A = this chain, B = another copy of it.
Amino acid sequence: MTGTVRDRLARAGSATVANMLLRRGLRNVLMTGVRPLTAGQRPLVGPAYTLRFIPAREDLDILSGYASSDHLHRRAVEECPPGAVLVIDALGSTAAASMGDMMAARLKRRGVSGAVTDGGYRDSAAVARTGLPCFHRDNAPRATPVALHPVALDEPVGCGGVAVYPGDVLLGDADGVVVVPRHLVAEVAAEGADAAAYEEFAALQIERGRSLFGLFPGTSESRQEYDTWVAAGRPGLE
């Protein structure tokens, strides 16, 4: 995906993008209970590369397994493409870690855009220090094999109650994480960025004491005012 599309999505924000999808009949695109690891972290944007977990079984899931180079949890970290987002279906469980700080550091180093899980991370403070934009439900300090078994890479999964197909684009910010179906990314990004720009105009008007009626949601008249304002170089906007 182009930098322009990334910028437009980030500028629009997850709540506005979700509205653009709602207009297309898609109601279930925002993950539930998945939040930024740290307040104020920068937005996350990128295509999904998925890792699917199922519950662990004591005879199959042992710490030593992590030494093997074909261990799926390890492979996910080494194979997630640069620029992509590692999306982890952790069954919504924080009974064990979806990832720890060593893995986060490696993802960051490999140029991965970020990580999203409907479970949680261990060593969460250290994960945050890597600077990798991460989203999760809550801390999950227990060792992964205690409760989670990696079973597949890059296949359709559910995360936070939303379907994620490989290649769908994720946008994460303070409001949470929205999933944009591949084929809608470009148009939704454009529409969303435009909506965000109009909101800047509306915010200015509200500051000047104008009521929401006829302003938000916009009308043809207010859209015209907006166009004039844009043509005039967006006066009043620092």
Residues of A within 8 A of B (CB): 13-16, 18-19, 22-28, 30, 35, 53-60, 63-64, 66-67, 69, 74, 77-78, 91-93, 97, 100-103, 105-106, 109, 122-126, 139, 141-143, 146-147, 149, 151-152, 155-158, 161-163, 173-176, 178, 181, 199, 202-203, 206-207, 209, 211-213, 216-217, 219
For the complex, what is the distance from the CA of A142 to the CA of B30, rounded to whole Å? 7
Known: A149-B163, A151-B156. 16 other contacts (CB 8 A): A14-B141, A15-B141, A77-B212, A78-B211, A101-B203, A102-B199, A102-B206, A102-B212, A105-B206, A105-B207, A106-B206, A109-B206, A124-B175, A139-B174, A139-B175, A141-B175
30 A–B contacts from the bound complex (CB under 8 Å): A13-B123, A14-B141, A15-B141, A15-B142, A22-B143, A22-B146, A26-B58, A27-B142, A28-B58, A54-B156, A57-B163, A64-B217, A67-B219, A91-B91, A91-B158, A101-B199, A102-B199, A102-B206, A102-B212, A102-B216, A106-B211, A109-B209, A122-B175, A124-B174, A125-B173, A125-B174, A125-B175, A139-B176, A141-B175, A141-B178
Q: CB-nearest residue of chain B relative to A61? A: B163
Take A162-B55, A206-B105, A206-B109 as given contacts and tell me if A212 and B74 are in contact as well, using a CB distance cutoff of 8 Å: yes
How far, in Å, is A17 (CB) from chain B's closest CB? 10
How far, in Å, is A176 (CB) from chain B's closest CB? 6
Which B residues lie within 8 Å of A147 (CB)?
A: 28
Most buried by B among A66, A93, A217: A217
Which B residues lie within 8 Å of A97 (CB)?
A: 15
Which B residues lie within 8 Å of A27 (CB)?
A: 58, 142, 146
How far, in Å, is A22 (CB) from chain B's closest CB? 6
For the complex, what is the distance from the CA of A164 to the CA of B4, rounded to whole Å? 44
The answer on a CB contact under 8 Å between A30 and B141 is: yes
The answer on a CB contact under 8 Å between B139 and A35 is: yes
For the complex, what is the distance from the CA of A124 to the CA of B13, rounded to whole Å? 11
How far, in Å, is A229 (CB) from chain B's closest CB? 16
The answer on a CB contact under 8 Å between A63 and B217 is: yes
Q: CB-nearest residue of chain B relative to A216? A: B102
The answer on a CB contact under 8 Å between A106 and B212 is: yes
The answer on a CB contact under 8 Å between A123 and B15 is: yes
